[in-house]
Amino acid sequence: MQVIPGSRGGRRSPSATARREQIIAATVRILAESGYGRTTFERVRQRAGISSTRLISYHFGTRDELMEAVLTDIALRAQDAIARRTEGAPTATARLTARIEAELTWIARNLAAVRAMYEICVNARDAEGALRYGPEASAQSNLAELEPILRAGQESGEFREFDTTLMALTLKSAIDAAIVRMTQPPRLSVDDCVREITTLALLVTRRAS
């Protein structure tokens, strides 16, 4: 699910870092609650409890820069959390199931961030009116994470032969479907979704006995 349009900047003072995090957190909440169109500097100022919108433009310059910073922050936080839960997995099978579990667990615990990311990806546009990011950015980042695991499983003999791009897209679609089931009634728990999607992943990738 990671979309990382940029990277964290150079060194900042602790106070500047704290202020940026405060502004980003307020922006995430407004995006999740009110949508992209209503996420203005003034609303962010009010939600963050700061005295002037100049404090926002000092750190981010423009609304587009703020939205890119939000995307980057969410994506890196998700990436870090997922990496911590998947590192050390001894086999491709273990890495695949650990990644699915880690991603779904992170999403379930950070629904506002996921909603904020969605709002930016489907609404932010450049000067020509084209989408800056679009949902395909998330798909590509997932492919970049899943395909190496699938290829490693084929190389080790754990997985059968299949097209790794198609399989990665299929698993991403299953994860997206699980997000819907976790967030829309009648809801499934994250544990139920993890169990179903990891079972699916194992069934569709395993070698015939």
Cβ-contact 121, 133 below 8 angstroms: yes
Please report which helix (H) or strand (E) contains residue 168, including its range.
helix 164-183
DSSP-based three-state secondary structure for 128: coil
Enter the pTM of the model.
Answer: 0.85
Question: What are the start-end ranges of the H helices in 35-134?
Answer: 41-48, 54-60, 63-86, 92-109, 111-123
171, 201 contact by CB (below 8 A): yes
Query: Given this model, what pLDDT does residue 142 score?
Result: 75
* pLDDT higher than 80, residue 123: yes
* Per-residue pLDDT reduced to its tens digit, 86-104: 999 999 999 999 999 999 9
Report helix angle 111-123 to 14-34, nearest 10. Answer: 80
pLDDT single digits (tens) 139-167: 677 788 999 999 999 999 999 999 999 99
Kindly state the average pLDDT of the residues 108-123: 94
